Amino acid sequence: MPNSSALNISNMLNQLQLKDQNAGCSTGQNWFSRGTIFDSFSPVDGQRIASVIGASEADYETAMTAATAAFPVWRQMPAPFRGEIVRQFGNKLRDLKLPLGQLVSYEMGKSLQEGLGEVQEMIDICDFAVGLSRQLHGLTMHSERPGHRMYEQYHPLGVVGIISAFNFPVAVWAWNTALAWVCGDVCIWKPSEKAPLCGVACQMIIADILKQNNLPEGISCLVNGDHKVGEMMSNDKRVPLISATGSTRMGRLVAQAVAKRLGKSLLELGGNNAIIVTPDADIKMTIIGAVFGAVGTAGQRCTSTRRLIIHESMFDQVKEALVKAYGQLRIGNPLDENNHVGPLIDKDAVAMYQSALKAVVEQGGQLLVDGGVLEGEGYESGCYVKPAIAEAENSYQIVQHETFAPVLYLIKYSGTVTDAIAIQNGVDQGLSSAIMTNNLREAELFLSQAGSDCGIANVNIGTSGAEIGGAFGGEKETGGGRESGSDAWKVYMRRQTNTINYTTDLPLAQGIKFDL
């Protein structure tokens, strides 16, 4: 496993076909950009990696024109053939897993293990989609009219727009595209402007696959740029579905724009995730799950653990164990496998982290593990911070807010698990949740209709680390969307009901008579 000194940046970029200055827009083999040039700086060491030329309005139009032209061709190809293209894409990702994982780690700041894991998620969803390409099932049902047959089938939507966030700069795009492609859709992607090279690298990979199979431009389109690109996509009637991952604030803007034109939205927004710790919890498992959930990706996962809701009888024991565990964390270059915690994405994120620590104290909380920005050798980027723990109340304004940083709030509860569930549900977000207990009744209550109101509810594991087999998403201000596994594919298609009359009569439904 390479450490920071062993990583050859030039070799990594060469393997991914990246240059010092990259066009940020593509329809496949055709690369172009006439917008603003912006540099990508690594939060690992503050160094410039390369630059990307963003999309102008004309560039966006070029991409959309290609996508709309490619759709009629792509949708007519048999779904198993589309699955074969995704299979080839997954195999190419296997070949490039190391350099792409390194780029994710270096450009975004997550640990190399997590960077490699993100690429593995891409591979996994490709495998899932290949099987799905032969299972796009509809339903058949009995008609009330004699000599009639009814069934439902699914058809592709058209151009799917994807807006992704910096914290998972490649996997979330793959979650969407792998499913959309086998469903017969074409895709246009706006990556985060904080990780633009990851987007260019992914487009390079799929562009080669499409070229080898003599497929037209426009099946996979890339439009790097700032929020204006997202606004163009959201307001474009030619894009029937927008899948957007990011903050709740961003999601509201996307949802309003898309709803105004009666389009469809798939929203994966903020999380304020909690682990409930009952008197029957296994403390060792609790600490492992809570620490990884709180500090993994430097607290920049939508499923990161923000709140630990602990029964008063266990509070001091859990608190002491957590403080001890935090004292063992190693913070530094994420490409060094010996480190647990890497940097935040940029200095704006650092400022938000500092503001949260100040706010929790002002609102009545107490810092149990002090935070702070790290300085000196190895921390030159200014983006490394210390994971912090604060004792707090769920009602605090800052606790109600999602802080995208490694800040964990410990909240004490008394009474029954029902009281803990009420605290957990007492926030506007509803993504991921967990309970630590060996009590079967508590676990089942947590999973029942009277339990967690989140899209993800786990027992004896943390809030972070979803598998692609299950649908991923949340409720309330998390947006209600579902991506990845299960039947999430249906959002990328339109449903059609068909009735066939194979008789010489024309009876009407509901027994209506209309004789001529």
Rounded to 5°, angle at Cα 21 from 17 and 26: 65
Cα distances (Å, whole numbers) of residue 184 to 10, 47, 199, 397: 37, 41, 22, 45
How far apart CA 365 and CA 363 sit, in angstroms, is 6
Exposed/middle/buried for 216, CB within 10 Å: 0-12, 13-18, 19+? Answer: middle
How far apart CA 473 and CA 36 sit, in angstroms, is 34
The continuous run of DSSP H or E covering 139 comes out as strand 139-142
How far apart CA 169 and CA 173 sit, in angstroms, is 7
How far apart CA 473 and CA 491 sit, in angstroms, is 13
Report the Cα 495 to chain-centroid distance in Å. Answer: 25
Active site includes 475?
no
Contact between residue 126 and residue 86 where contact means Cβ atoms under 8 Å apart: yes
CB atoms within 10 A of CB 39: 11
Compute, in degrees rounded to 10, the torsion defined by CA atoms 31, 33, 37, 38.
Answer: -60
Report the DSSP pairing between strands 25-26 and 31-32: antiparallel
Catalytic residue, chosen from 25, 187, 302, 454, is 302
Copy the structure tokens of residue 235: 């307001």
Contact between residue 460 and residue 285 where contact means Cβ atoms under 8 Å apart: yes
Catalytic residue, chosen from 193, 268, 402, 442, is 268
How far apart CA 490 and CA 94 sit, in angstroms, is 27
Active site includes 268?
yes
How far apart CA 186 and CA 241 sit, in angstroms, is 11
How far apart CA 491 and CA 480 sit, in angstroms, is 12
How far apart CA 147 and CA 73 sit, in angstroms, is 36
The 3-class SS string of 327-383 reads: CCCCECCCCCCCCCECCCCCHHHHHHHHHHHHHHHHCCCEEEECCCECCCCCCCCCC
**DSSP string covering 250-277, please?**
HHHHHHHHHHHTT-EEEEE----EEEEE
Exposed/middle/buried for 461, CB within 10 Å: 0-12, 13-18, 19+? Answer: middle
**Which residues are catalytic, by number?**
268, 302
